[in-house]
Structure 1
Amino acid sequence: MPKPNLTKWGKREVVNPKAMTDRITAPQKYYGKMPYFAAQGCANNTSNPRSGMALYKGKMIDVTWPKNKVKQFGFTTSADGKYFIVPEDGIYHMYFQASTYGDKNRTIGSNINVYIEAENNAAGNGAVGELGVVIQQHLTTNYYHTTPVGVTEFLTKGTKLKAKVYLDGGAEGHWVIADGAMDTTFYAFMISPSSEGWHYATPGPASSMKRWTDDEFVDEIRMNEQTTAQFNALENRARVTGRGVTFNWKGQREDKNAVTWAAIYRNSTKPGWLQDTEAAPGWGAKTAVEIPWDGIYLVSVIGNARHNTQPVANVQYIYQIGVYGSGGMSAKPILLSQGGNTRTDHESGQIISDVVPLKAGDRLNVRFWGANTATNWDSGRSGSVSGSRWWNFAVTYLGRGTYGSGG
C-alpha cells in the first residue's frame, strides 16, 4: 500500500470516519508492515563441485533468485530474477551472504568478493553503485565458506538492488555459490519511508504516549501528539552515515586507533543530534558519533583492511565498535563485536551489525589494529567518498526504550 499522506488535526475540526481512517487507521496499517523482500537460496546451474551457481575465476556473477525462493511485500523482482526493485523512497537495511565451495585452493588461498549494488536511472539523491563490499579468503578446500555484507542506505523508488560475487582471478579448480536456503541469502527491509530525501530533517523522537481518560477534554494538540506526531517520527527516523577511511598503521597500536571518517552525513542540523565528534580530546574530528537520546539503535559497519608484508604466523586484524558511556574514553567500553582475517597484500573485510540499547551522551567509534605483528596495515582500496563503499558506518534510531525497561 502507498505511504499515507500525513496531515494534522485542526482546531474545532469535526471528527468524521474519513479523517479517523486517514490519520489513524491507514498509518497504523502502513507502519505495521512496510516493504521488504527475503530471498533464500540462489539458482542452480551446476552440480560441480556442489549444487548451486557456478563461479569462474576472474569473473563477476550476478546472483539469480528463483521465484519460488523469494518472499516479498512491496518489492518486485525483475523477469531475469537478478534485481529487486525498490517500491518507495526510504531508508533500507540490506544484507547479503554467499556461501561458496571450492575443490582446490592455491597455497595463499583464493579470495571471494561479495557486493550489494544499486542501479537507478531516475533522478534523485538515493545511493547508487556498490553500496557494500566485503572480501574474504576462502580458507578450506572442499568445504563451504560464508562471506556476508550488510549496509543501511537511503534508496529512491525504482532503484534496482542486486547481489554479486567475484572469484579471485588466480583461483584453481571448480567453484560454486551454494543454493541452500540457509547458505546464500539476500534481504532488504524498509526502516522508514523518508519520502523527501536523505536531508529531510528528522523530528527526532515523538512525544510520550499517554493514556486517554474519562471526561478528558480533547483538543487538536492532544490529538496530534497521539497520532500525527507519532507517525512523523516513524516516517523519518534520525540517522547518520560515515563513509571513506584511509590509514596506514603499524600493528599493535595501543592508542589513537579510532578510524577517521572522510565524510559523515546526518538528517538533522540540530547540534547534538547524532553529531560527528571526537572519540576523546586529541583523537581528531569525525572519529565518533554521539548519541542524542536514550533508545534502541541499529548500528552497522563494513571495514576492509590489508596487510602489507609477506605472511606472518597467526597474523590477523581486529576491528570493533566501541560504545563509550558517560565516563568517556577513560572508561572501559562495551564492544559490539570484533574479528578479522587477512591475505597478504590484498583487502580482507568484515561486517558488524547489531541492534543495541544506548544512552544519551554515549559515543560510538570504530577501532582498528593489527594483531601479532609490528608491520604495517592499511585501509586498502577505500575509494572516494561517493565511490565504492569499502568502509561504511551507519547508526539509525529505531525508537524509545532500552532492553528490559518496558519503555
Structure 2
Amino acid sequence: MDSKLKESNRLYFVDNLRIMLIILVVIAHIAITYGAKGGWYYFEHTQDTITNVFLQFFLSICQAFTLGLFFLISAYFIPKSLNRKGAKFFIKDKLFRLGLPLFIYELFINPVLVYLNIIRVQGIKISYLDYFKENMLPPKIIGTGPLWFVEALLLFSFIYVLFWKIIKPRSHDVIKSNIPKNISILVFILILSTITFLIRIKLPIGWSLKFFHLQFPFYPQYVSFFILGIVSYKLDWLTSIPEKIGKQWMIVGFASILCFPILALLGGAVKGEALKFTGGFYWQNFAYCCWESFVCMGMTIGLLSLFKRKYNKQNRITKVLSKNAYGVYLIHAPIIVLIAYACQSILIYPLLKFLIVSLIAVPLCFIISHYGVIRIPYADKIL
C-alpha cells in the first residue's frame, strides 16, 4: 500500500510482514461472518459458545495490533516518497493509488454487497436498478467497507503533506538514532491508553462518523502509529530494533494476549457486562484500552524485529504474494461474502466451517488478484 521501492532497496521483511497482516485481515472478516461481533455484509452467527468465544478472542487480537502496525509501515515510506516526488505529484499518486480504488469500491462494489444482503438475508424482492435508485440519493449505500483503511491513509497522507509544506524541512536525511528506552515506551502506552479511554467514554467501540465511516474510538492508536511510522523513517528505527528489545516486547505482546481471558472474566464479560469494555466511564473500558495498547506495541516491536532478523528475503512465492497484497485487500470482501453465501446451506460445526472457508478464501483471494485484478490495464500502477 506504499510507494514502490526499487528492488535493490526493498525492505523484504516489511513486504513479508504485510503479507501476514493481509491474511489476518481476511480471516478476521471471516471470523465476523461466523460469530465474532463487528460490522460486515453477511452474518451466519451461531449459539455455540466455543465458536463465539474463540472467534471473538481472535478478532480482538487482530483488532488490537494489525491496523496500527499497518498504519506504521504505510507511513514509514511516505517521507521518502514525498521528498522524491514533491507535494503535487505525491498527492496525484495517492489519489490514483488510494483514491481511485476507494471510489470504485464505494460506487460499485459496496452497493452490490449490500444488495445481496437485502435479497438473500432480508428476503426483500427488489431489482438492483430500483434498489440503486432508491438508495443512491441520499447515498445510503455508499460505504467504504474494509477500505476505510484506504480512506484514513489517504486523509493522513494529505494532512502530512500540509504539515510538510508548512515546516518546509531543510534536510531530508535519515538521522540514525536508538529506539526509545522501555520506560519511554511504557509512558507512550499509558498516554495512548488514557486518550483512547477518554474518547470511548462518549464514543464507544462501534461508533463511526456517518458517510465517512471513520471509527474514532480506534483513531488514537491509528494516528499515533501513523506518526510513529513517519518518525521511524526519520530516525531509522524500523531497521535498527535490537534483538533483545524485540524479544522482550514480543513476550509483552503474547503475555498481554494471554491475559485477555482473565480480563474478560474479572470484568464480567461472560455475565452480560461485555459492553462495559467497549466504552463508558468503567474500569473495564480503561483496562481494555490498556490491553489493546500493550498488545499493539508488543506485537509491533516484536514482529518488526523478528521479521527483520528471520524473514528479510523473498523467494518466488513470497514475491508473488507481496505483489498481490494490496490487490487482496481491495477485493477480499466480495470474495469471502460470495464464498460464505455458497456455503450457507452446508450444516457443519460452525468453527469448522470458519476454518474451511478461511482455507478456501485466503488462497482464492491471492489467485484472483494475481491472475485477474493485477492484469487489468493500469492496475499494476495502482498495486
**TM-score normalized by the length of structure 1:** 0.19
Give the structure with the higher percent helix. 2
* Max Rg structure: 1
**TM-score normalized by the length of structure 2:** 0.20
Greater relative contact order (Cα < 8 A, sep 6+): 2
